[in-house]
Amino acid sequence: MQNLSISFLGKDGPGIVATVSSGLRDNNCNIIQLTQSILGAEFAAIFIVQAPDALSIPELQASLEKLLEKDRHDISVLIRTASSGSFSESVACEPYVVTTDGPDGPGLIAAMARVFSRHNINIDNIKAVLGHGGENHALFVLEVQVPLTVDIGRLRRELHSVGKELGLNTSVQHRDIFEAMHRITDF
């Protein structure tokens, strides 16, 4: 079996996941990981699948595109051999959550991402919520993998400094603490 990474991007609508997962099943592919999101009116998903060695990427791509077109979904498909391993497997890391909120404007994510890059920190996930807290307000939640060699105090100071320049409130918390503080309990 070969592991493939398949990305889907296009106009959102009901039935896309049903079409895609059926097409993968019809090609004897097993879904082993998947993430999917809606951004505005755009559907975005990445599937990691195990596919038969005899199945070529062009053959699978043609099959999926044909099914998506038949079901009238305007979706682009990109397939490549899946990468193995992950950043946090090759570098000893701790998971952190960084939140920023304040006035929206160009370059907010770029400024934070440059700080992470300087410290060899990998961004696992970003969620941007615009308009939360008022018009022209931005809230970003970044899940990152921080190498054990990084000085967390220095990182916090640098993120707060960059945030202050942009008018953003910034918080850096270990993921376990973040989740404990934001846990919703049933009563």
Which pLDDT tens digit goes with each residue over 10-44? 999 999 999 999 999 999 999 999 999 988 899 99
pTM score = 0.76
**Sequential DSSP letters for the chain:** -EEEEEEEEEE--TTHHHHHHHHHHHTT-EEEEEEEEEETTEEEEEEEEEE-TTS-HHHHHHHHHHHHHHTT--EEEEEEEPP-S-HHHHS-EEEEEEEEEEE--TTHHHHHHHHHHHTTPEEEEEEEEESTTSTTEEEEEEEEEEETTS-HHHHHHHHHHHHHHTT-EEEEEEHHHHHHHT-----
Percent of the chain with pLDDT over 70: 93
50-81: pLDDT as tens digits: 999 999 999 999 999 999 999 999 999 999 99
Percent of the chain with pLDDT over 90: 72
